[in-house]
Amino acid sequence: MDYFHQRRRFLQQFGQVAIAVPGLSLLSDQVLGLAGNQDKKLGIALIGLGQYSEEQLAPALQETQSCKLVAIVTGTPDKVSKWQRKYDIADKNVYNYQNFDSIKNNPEVDIVYVVLPNSMHAEYTIRAAKAGKHVICEKPMATSVKDCEAMIKACKDAGKMLSIGYRLHFEPHNMTIAKFGKEKVHGKITKVRAIDSQEMEAGVWRLDRKRSGGGPVMDLGVYCVQGSIYAMGINPVGVTAKEGPKTDKEKFPDVEQSMEFTLDFPGGASSYCTTSYADKGNLLRVEAEKGWYELSPAYGYSGIAGKSSLDKIDFKQVNQQALQMDDFASCVKNRRPTRVPGEMGMRDVKILMAIYESARTGKKVPLRLG
């Protein structure tokens, strides 16, 4: 099955799935951008040409139906010629961090995708909005709630849309888990287990707190937070966390090596979460009154697999990033709300900050998420 038909099938099957975010109601096929003119491809500029842009986003933009790669922004001049040759990018559509604001004069660019270290997300989201561009910002949205608020305000003031790069909201296995949680298909959910861990190489920016805002909690733990919330179909009300021991103090002088945290939900259920930069694990498991179901692996770019005591959770793999960017382009063209808005990103940053607070104080931190 080719990408276009996979996309149509996915949207037909999961068009009614919505995740609760305060102040937003995401309903119907209209939210997915299925109405209106779908002929014009919107131009996307990637800001930050690191591994994720190079290996995932740029290739995905060769498969998209509603948007295309037209510009790049990089602080590394040596990368420019390679990208220009590979993706036929004109000289006038190449920017650096110093002249980025001049992108406001480029009508070919409709959307800026911010793919930079976490500490730079707020600055470039705000600058992109002021330049009159819609924004997709990679997760985590920012390194503070204050920055999230500023990002949302800047986009609203500019009349531009803001979306967070939560690709799993466009992945059928994960959205089946969300459907089960929203509709309580298997009765009351009693327990969730979420694990996202990987071994991190030394010396990368993710181990620098000033650039990353933290360690695996900020990078991988956000998937555990996200998975727990859409598995439950409701926001948590409290969190308890404990940082794990540092077995490699040379690699982790600045950020946590691992973290265990528990999200408590209304009604008494909890999600038990683990994230680490010195281990391997990739799981989202749900236990309910009538049975259990899980994804293992749960959060990868591909290879996601599901099993259940009651249901078959088996779908063809999709290009998550292509679906994600197509959906946002369609939302922009049709002036529909995105299912992964800045408010959702800010909610999750509030939870991430509460995890660190609980680990620091040893106390349970209440969550007031609206």
Buried b (16+ CB within 10 A) or exposed e, 150-171: bbbebbeebebbbbbbbbbbbb
Q: Binning pLDDT at 50, 70 and 90, where does residue 31 land?
A: very low
Residue ranges of domains in the chain, CATH in brackets: 3-167+323-339 (3.40.50.720), 172-316+348-366 (3.30.360.10)
Q: What is the pLDDT of residue 39?
A: 78
Q: Give the residue numbers marked as catalytic.
A: 139, 223
> Tell me: the pLDDT tens digits for 93-108?
999 999 999 999 999 9
What would the mean pLDDT of 195-205 be, rounded to a whole number? Answer: 97
Question: What number of other Cβ atoms are within 10 A of residue 146's Cβ?
Answer: 12
Residue 266 has pLDDT above 50, yes or no: yes
Q: Model-level pTM?
A: 0.91
Q: Binning pLDDT at 50, 70 and 90, where does residue 72 land?
A: very high
Grouping H, G, I as helix, E, B as strand and the rest as coil, residue 34 is coil
Grouping H, G, I as helix, E, B as strand and the rest as coil, residue 292 is strand
Q: Which of the residue ranges 16-20, 68-72, 273-277, 350-354 would you say has the lowest mean pLDDT?
A: 16-20
Residue 28 has pLDDT above 50, yes or no: no
Q: Which of the residue ranges 12-16, 143-147, 278-282, 293-297 would you say has the lowest mean pLDDT?
A: 12-16
Average pLDDT along the chain: 92
What would the mean pLDDT of 207-231 be, rounded to a whole number? Answer: 98
